[in-house]
Amino acid sequence: MLRTETPSPLHGALDTYAADKLVRTFVEDQYEAVRAVEAVADDLARAVDAAAPRLQAGGRLIYVGAGTSGRLGILDGVELLPTFSWPPERALGLIAGGPPALFKAVEGAEDDAEQGERDVQALAPTTNDVVIGVAASGGTPYVLGGLKAAQAAGALTLGLANNPGAPVAAAADIGIVLDTGPEVISGSTRLKAGTAQKIALNTLSSCLMVRLNKVHGNLMVDLQATNAKLRKRALSLTQRASGAPLEAAEAALAAAHGHVKLAVLMLGKQLNAADATALLAQHAGHLRAALDAP
């Protein structure tokens, strides 16, 4: 039996717990998710090193999953646009059963390996793409089909699973096994198995964005300021990164059309928007390198 399906020996009387003990049981079990990700930190680092050059060359992140795993992959990709201005056409998510499966389970869809293969083929993967297959069980046919198509196209494949010996991990170029063990509720991998996947995906994509010059120091200087809260954040980030007073930061940010990285470069090098844009492009969007340029 898969470890994620094995009944926990610790909580056989879960349905008798008082509310305070019930809550503590679920919360405490989530710590195992963090430990599982810590155990594969080296594998995640290998994935970052392998994926970053492909994305730098114009590749895409393509997430493939089913159920909770599929939804978590799509969520990770969707969040890259507002946080790092990563183009949505370069963060694509596939879930068994298609878009309706985001809101309601599509029975049997995850068992169709050929559909997974067709869905990935439809995206015309290239050697610069990075395809991430996510499956708690590690044997989901839809995900295995997607990885097969990705490898046939020469894309880099990453396989995230929650069971040792998982076929999804074995089939990928880099397998990452998040061994979270039995769930408090037997087999419910939306619990700590899903938490571990969220942490791993978040870590992977965030590290990649740092490598791709989307961060200056630890400041998210490539965010999209699309609402009042984010416009306020963009102004604060501009001031922090440049050291400029409020009025100067506001003026630069306005001239940069809300682009923090550009505003900081304008302030730091005393450039207009056009010249700062050109200088940033010369340094592949790397703000630190542009600021240090003679």
Active site residues: 79, 110
Residues 6+ apart with CB under 8 A from 24: none
* DSSP state for residue 216 in the 8-state scheme: B
Amino acid, single-letter form, for residue 268? G
Please name which of 194, 191, 148 lies closest in space to residue 168, comparing C-alpha atoms.
148
* DSSP state for residue 219 in the 8-state scheme: B
Sign of CA dihedral 182, 186, 189, 191: negative
Tokens of 1: 């039996």
Please name which of 115, 135, 164, 121 lies closest in space to residue 65, comparing C-alpha atoms.
135
Please name which of 77, 51, 53, 54 lies closest in space to residue 65, comparing C-alpha atoms.
77
